Structure 1
Amino acid sequence: MDQSLFGDSVARKAGTRQTVAAVLFALCLIWNVLRMTGLLYLMLQDAMLTSPVTGFVMSAIELLLPMAGFALLIPGAANRATKTATVLLSVGYGCTMLCYAGCALSLSAASGEVTHMQIGQMYAYCGWVSWACEVVSLFAFSLILRGNAIEPDTASWIGLLLLEAMIMPVWSLFNVVGTVEPEEHPFVSFPGAVFSVVWTVLLIIAYVRFARCTAFSGAGTDAPQGVYSPLNKYMAGIVVASGVTLAALWAVCRFAAPWLRTL
């Protein structure tokens, strides 16, 4: 068989998987925009008000999209390190999805009326799992960047995903431990909502560039030595980002949030 034809076929299949994965990532983030802006609540208002399970089911469906997207990228991974990182990403989102689905099943099977305390406990469990998933995601994205010669402009966009993975564990921890009350949430304002939407649009571009990058094109490359070491600048960034984010969130919740809610 002509090897060039075989190579073209592999690249074509990898390209198709990359495109589908990019669409799944974009759909997940668009879903997130609908949720943040309240449009999803308006569309599903009746179901959300009549059943506390609906929110957990919606979150599980939302997480199913990136889990499937990362799974589609696994066969086209350029090397073992990239494949390992992509498996970690897919499994991480899968575990979080199963946590939300398990909470939905637990609430639906509960006898009697479901209390706000029970719902809060379930969201706390999911929050801890999401926190662990974000930490794993940070390592996985750093592994992909270190294990491949990705184009500089694409690597810059992937850097946004690393920044998201650095910030979200701290933000999730704030929500889990109850430091920020719902009515004191700094993004419960029009400026906060606009910022969230703009940030999500940037993440959509970043995920599309990530899915379409050479690391998943089906072309094999060797990973450098020591690529699996967690002692790298990306993982070290979580320490710096955590401290900065904690200080910034405290300042926002203490000073800016009361002012933002008056707008």
Structure 2
Amino acid sequence: MPSRLDVIHRFNEVGLARLDPRWAGGRPRLLGPDDEVLVVRTATTRPAEPGQPFTRWSIRKLTAHLRKVHGRVIRIGREALRSLLAGRGVTFQRTKTWKESTDPERDAELDRIEHVLERFPDRTFAFDEFGPLGIRPTAGSAWAERGRPERLPATDRRTATMDAAELEAGQRERTAGMIRLAELLAAGTPASADSVQAEIDARYRWLAELHPVTPEEFRAMGLGCVQNPSWRAAYEAVTPGLAEYQHTAIEFYATTRLV
């Protein structure tokens, strides 16, 4: 550290420029432009695509995932990641959904309605039957560009009109299927056996009635059997090893039947 006499001599030589602290540039950047692009692309991608067993990225989960991306390691703190996403215009926001009619006569029916509304405004009336209270889609959330939320199609299938008895029957069947898998595990049946795959097929078909399920999403659900603590605890409470058994069976099913 220079003494006061050094400062005085230097001030006499260069004037006020000597009082400039000449701060250093700080810590060098750890991320290059390509790394930043990868971070933004990963944040705006659904976790199921890279095989993660959850539906949306939190800052903590995204930071942990970036540290083990195949082929490169991206080390970034949580606040630095939050600032990077904000600087790139990526925010955490609600997704948007919409419904599309599957009625083949939809256009003709709309044309008739418009004809009546235009030609006979004084004679128009509308009616509808009382439908299920839970049919309105519920939006999710995800990282997306500011003002451009991710848009997902909402299902209009029969599950929206399931009554309590149907839901209870479906829950009983899923519980019975889990018990059957536990019995197959206890009998030493391989996860690739036809009897095991029949149970997994029934589960996949039930999920597909709720909403379209991609192979990546189904594999992520299987991975959740072992990586999600609450799921794993529930399966292991039935019989030890059931969580890994289901994961193996679902992985085999997805790679052999959903390709």
TM-score tier (shorter):
under 0.3
Larger strand fraction of residues: 2
Greater relative CO, 1 or 2 (CA 8 Å, sep 6+) = 1
Larger helix fraction of residues: 1
